[in-house]
Structure 1
Amino acid sequence: MIAAIVGMVPDILGVGELFLYDRLDYWAASIRALDGHELFGIGFGGRSAANVPSNLHNGYIFVLLTRGIIGLAAQITLLGLAYRHSIFNLTDLTAATSLSMLTMVLVVTFFESVILFGFGGLPVLATLVVGFAIQPKPIRNSTNRG
Structure 2
Amino acid sequence: MGVVPVKEAQKLANSKNLDLVKIAPQAKPPVCKIMDYGKHKYELAKKEKEAKKNQKVVTVKEVRLSPNIEKHDLQVKVNQATKFLKSGDKVKVTLRFRGRELSNISIGKKVIDEFKDMVAEISQIEKEAKLEGKQMIMVLTPKNS
User: How high is the TM-score relative to the length of structure 1?
Assistant: 0.22
Structure of higher CA gyration radius: 2
Identify the structure with the greater helix proportion: 1
User: How high is the TM-score relative to the length of structure 2?
Assistant: 0.22
Identify the structure with the greater strand proportion: 2
